[in-house]
Amino acid sequence: MTAKIVIAGSGFAGFWASISAMRVISQANKEDSIKVILVSPRPNVTIRPRLYEAKLDNMSPDISKQIAAAGVEYIAGKIEKIDSDNKILTINLVNGSQTTLTYDRFVLATGSQLAIPPVPGFYEYGFNVDTLEDAQRLEVHLQALKSKPDSHARNTVVVVGGGLTGLESAAEMPARLKAILGDNVNIRVLIVDTAPAPGAGMGADASLVIQQALSECGVESRVGLRVESIDNKSITLSNRECIESNTVVLATGVKANTLTEQISSKRDTSGRIISDSYLHAKAVSGVFVAGDTVKAPTDDKGNYNLMTCQHALSLGRVAGHNAAAELTGIPLYPYNQPKYVTCLDLGAWGALYTEGWDRRVCFTKNEGKRIKQEINTQWIYPPELGRDELFAIANPDYVIVP
Ligand SMILES: Cc1cc2nc3c(=O)[nH]c(=O)nc-3n(C[C@H](O)[C@H](O)[C@H](O)COP(=O)(O)OP(=O)(O)OC[C@H]3O[C@@H](n4cnc5c(N)ncnc54)[C@H](O)[C@@H]3O)c2cc1C
């Protein structure tokens, strides 16, 4: 009988998990007895790290050729139910029907989504850049502003949340708005955060650089404040300040995909399953977790992966390898990724590149921007390669950031 490795999600983690699993199966000459099946709504990797940008071309490259070349089967659908006791998945197919699929090993790589706090108006009036559709909706709205009469509300964008996504969205926005509304319009862009300073979560040195960059880009900050409510023409803050704005962009953090709730394992406050170093969901057999659905140690110094593409690219390779290793009888590989970097796009000012968990500032402005552009246009894209070239870079110890 043929054994099955089913991988849920074709993001950064799921794509590499499927290639990595096939690599092990091919090396063991077990293609006839073990198959890898990738399940996701579309055979694409959405480049979520770039969705704060204005131009949204090539943000969801098709991976059909690569997975077919590697010998991965593909099912267009969404996993609806995980029965981990009986190793059965229920899948809602994109053609509207439902099917079930048994598995021998399952890799959950269904990512994350924006966590929207229960603030009045956020669901009805908030924009965001979490999915390609969300980012397109924001761009259509921004383009439509030019047909509205000139007003403070039209010319003002407020970004809620001063994490990396909020900072990148805000820093990009003045140039983006000017390109739409014209140079002579009195544009305002603000970032609102509960933290004491913009970028405070990145440490004192990085935060100072971020403050300088925001100010040079023309972004105002409102810190140490919560949002009380929003509607289609204003946003009210916890200090009672009311800012007229037709455009509030939510960058309020992410939580793991809700399928994690169907696996009876311990989860962290973001909903991620806490795994062992082989990326097993600890309390159930045959289930691996990768990307934004897992919390795993990156080293022996007490650091854990973050919900980043940088970590997902490695976690996927390790989870796919280990799922196939268990079925082929080779040793499992313990996930480790000691090097951690951050590259934050700060609009017209440039970009900030830091190294280490203490985020030492290494490159700023144009130097940082060159690295960011390389990351955003090359490093994170699924490479258009054939089977052997893909297998050559799908090893679990592949170093994502040299
Ligand atoms: C605006 C923005 C900026 C970011 N910037 C950075 C950055 O600068 N650097 C960085 O490292 N990270 C960044 N990130 C984070 C990064 O994008 C995520 O950490 C990364 O996408 C996680 O990869 P993943 O494979 O776990 O999940 P995802 O990329 O979210 O992929 C999940 C996949 O699962 C599929 N799926 C969902 N539900 C189901 C289901 N029920 N059944 C089957 N398939 C399903 C989806 O369709 C998708 O294919 C950013 C994110 C955003 C939104």
Tens-level pLDDT at each residue, the chain (402 residues): 899 999 999 999 999 999 999 999 999 999 999 999 999 999 999 999 999 999 999 999 999 999 999 999 999 999 999 999 999 999 999 999 999 999 999 999 999 999 999 999 999 999 999 999 999 999 999 999 999 999 999 999 999 999 999 999 999 999 999 999 999 999 999 999 999 999 999 999 999 999 999 999 999 999 999 999 999 999 999 999 999 999 999 999 999 999 999 999 999 999 999 999 999 999 899 999 999 999 999 999 999 999 999 999 999 999 999 999 999 999 999 999 999 999 999 999 999 999 999 999 999 999 999 999 999 999 999 999 999 999 999 999 999 998
Encoded tokens for 241: 């300040």
| Among protein residues, the one whose CA lies closest to atom 5 of ligand 1 | 49
The pTM assigned to this predicted structure is: 0.97
Q: Ligand 1: which of 309, 310, 313 to mutate, most ligand atoms within 8 Å of CB?
A: 309
| Among protein residues, the one whose CA lies closest to atom 35 of ligand 1 | 9
Encoded tokens for 26: 């091919």
pLDDT of residue 161: 97
Ligand 1 atom with least separation from CA of 306 = 19
Q: Which residues contact 40 (CB under 8 A, 6 or more apart)?
A: 8, 9, 10, 11, 14, 74, 76, 77, 78
Q: Are 206 and 363 in contact (CB under 8 A)?
A: no
pLDDT of residue 30: 98
| Among protein residues, the one whose CA lies closest to atom 2 of ligand 1 | 49
Q: Which residues contact 301 (CB under 8 A, 6 or more apart)?
A: 338
Tell me 138's DSSP state. Answer: H
pLDDT of residue 1: 84
Q: Are 91 and 77 in contact (CB under 8 A)?
A: yes
**CA 172 remoteness from chain centre:** 18
Report residues whose beta carbon is within 6 angstroms of any ligand 1 atom.
8-14, 39-41, 48-49, 51-52, 78-79, 109-112, 129-130, 164-165, 257, 259, 291-292, 307-310, 312
| Among protein residues, the one whose CA lies closest to atom 30 of ligand 1 | 111
